[in-house]
Amino acid sequence: MSQQNFDNRQIIDEIRNRIDIVELISETVSLKKAGSSYKGLCPFHSEKTPSFNVNRERGLYKCFGCGKSGDIFSFLEETQGMTFVEALRELAKLAGVSLPSWKSSDGGKREAILALNESAQKFFSDNLLSKNGNEARAYLGKRGINAEMIEKFGLGLAPTGWDVFYRKAGKSMAPENLKVSGLFREREGGGWYDLFRDRIIFPIQDIHGNIIAFGGREYLEEKGPKYINSPETPVYTKGKTLYAMNLAKEKIKRLSCAVLVEGYTDVILCHKYGFSQVVASLGTALTSDQVALISRLASKVILAYDADSAGQAAAERGIDIVLMRGLDVRVALFEEKDPADLLLSGDESRFVASLDKAEEFIEHRINRLLESAKNPQERAVAAKNLLSSLSSITDSILRSSLIKRIAERFGVSEDALITASNLDSRPIIEKAEIQKIVRGMDTELSLLKLMLEDPELREVGARELRPEDFSKEVRRNVFSAIIEAGRNGESMIGDLGGRVQGIGIDLLAHISNSELPTGDTKKLFSDFTKIVKLQKIDAEINDCTVNLQKESLTINEKVMLTKQLTGLLKEKSLVVNSKKVGEHPV
């Protein structure tokens, strides 16, 4: 169903009249009054100066940067991935307008699941507060989670037994909704049982407060996995939500700062002690969707992860993603204790101090690297690696100031640093692997040899490589010929069915008579592909850098070249960071 054939115009107008578009959009985008309208950073494209306008009187938004425009309905459709009907239902609920019942194409799936989740939350919560929940409440109490927090976060307890909740709520549901709700599992012999059994339940809410999923924690003894989470459902996509964002958004907006912690209990304790700008990324590593969610409300984010090394590693992984959105990233350090321990032991002031003293990301990274690098050689390598990890920064001014700082702190020259990070891609492949390249065969020829010999690698090559990846015309021709002959199921002999001529035939003969590289050929192929791609990108980066130094450039040409360079550096970091070839877009 679309807006056009939903004929009850009156209802739509009624909802439009009742809902303030500024208020609605403010839930997810920080808006400031500017003249007769409101302005903020566009949620549809990445920008640093606000060009996203919201007009309360007209009930419309428009971005002068990317051109997106619409009303309250399209806003939810676009930002929450809802259909028009889902947006209509959501907004009708918000406006307190009742909708006539009608048949819609999605069968009201979203609404059915949200309603089921709500009744599940109530069921689990009642159970926790009953005498069944004595032990669980004691467990939570020991971790500082009191009745007030249980209520605020809607915590619950899934009962012991295989299908207690199913018998209560699932039986009356349409089987197709049962399946996608994520709360039940199908028995092998038919029938259903509960996903969550005998676990403390943490409801996960979206930014509007809808219960979209659950996390369940073991508390009696370690019988199974410590945590079980809802699978993805029509209302829940992993990595798109931040735990407690619905409770934290106001304060995050007010402070223009979000604090990220690791788990449910960290969040709950922080809120208990008044730090309600705290959210968690729900166990998974921070995703770019989550960062986007924050960057619409705040300009700064503090990573307050556990003191152990896993926590630190998580902090560093998260940082690169955060930097891409141009956020001011800080890292809070906790010696010996994690945030929850600190608060539990009554050390609130130390928690506050840690947040206040949170190091700027780059400072944090430099300090850690300097700690471990003992001599000038190690420092040079560390500086170079750090710089290559910064190639995801798209702001060229920021990037060049960072290069300057890194050079100073590591005691190396800026020029040397830039040259090294741009041109030397080889260290990513171990020396031993390089030596496996057979005499007289460089990386490109080895790739061709492997493709010639192994049909499987031929297919990989067809997928991962392009003729342009090869440096010489004749090699490109041979590559294309191998792919084409392979595709037609022809044998790899002679001139490949006349596809190769002239010096191409000589090259083919040379390759055919060479030895096959030894070792894990799949791994070699993947490494060689990476090298070839990096060589090509490095050559382009080099051209770009040389051109940028020409004095005759106009401002426009400079901007174009800088853009091109930024793109290349980003592409390079994608290739460098891809675990195996195929993970990066080719």
Question: Interface residues with Zn ion (CB under 5 A)?
Answer: 42, 44-45, 63, 65-66
Q: CA–CA separation, 206 vs 195, rounded Å?
A: 21
Pick between residue 66 and residue 548 the one whose CB is nearest to Zn ion. Answer: 66
Minimum Å gap between C-beta 428 and Zn ion is 36
Measured in residues, the chain has a length of 586
Of 79 and 391, CB closest to Zn ion: 79
* Cα distance between the two ends of the chain: 38
State the nearest-atom distance from the C-beta of 24 to Zn ion, in Å.
Answer: 17
Phi and psi at 470, nearest 5°, equal -95, 145
The Cα angle at residue 186 between residues 180 and 190, in degrees rounded to 5: 130
Closest contact distance (angstroms) between CB of 295 and Zn ion is: 13
Q: How far is the CB of 328 from Zn ion (least distance, A)?
A: 21
Pair of tokens at residue 313: 């590693």
Q: Which is nearer to Zn ion, 44 or 273 (CB)?
A: 44
CB nearer Zn ion, residue 50 or residue 486? 50
Tell me how far, at minimum, the Cβ of 53 lies from Zn ion, in Å. Answer: 10
Query: Any bridge partners for residue 53, and if so which?
Result: 39, 62
397 CB neighbour count, 10 Å cutoff:
9
The minimum distance between CB 68 and Zn ion, in angstroms, equals 5
Closer residue to Zn ion in complex, CB, 42/260: 42
Least CB distance to Zn ion at residue 522 (A): 43
Residue 6 or 44 with smaller CB distance to Zn ion: 44
CB of 17 to Zn ion, least distance (A): 27
Q: How far apart are CA 225 and CA 105, in angstroms?
A: 38
Checking DSSP bridges between strand 192-194 and strand 200-205, what pairing results, if any? unpaired
Q: Report residue 269 as tokens.
A: 């304790």
Q: Put residue 429 in one of left, alpha, beta given phi > 0 → left and psi -120 to 50 → alpha.
A: beta
**Cβ-based nearer residue to Zn ion, 42 or 507:** 42
How far lies 357's CA from each of 253, 294, 303, 334, 352, in Å?
A: 21, 21, 12, 11, 9
Residue 63 or 150: which CB sits closer to Zn ion? Answer: 63
With the CA atoms of 521, 525, 530 and 533 taken in that order, what torsion angle do they form, in degrees rounded to the nearest 10? Answer: 160
**Minimum gap (Å) between residue 253 Cβ and Zn ion:** 19
Residues 6+ apart with CB under 8 A from 295: 41, 325, 326, 327
**Helical segments of 359-502, H only:** 361-372, 376-389, 396-410, 414-423, 431-435, 443-453, 455-464, 473-487
Choose between 79 and 526: whose C-beta lies nearer to Zn ion.
Answer: 79
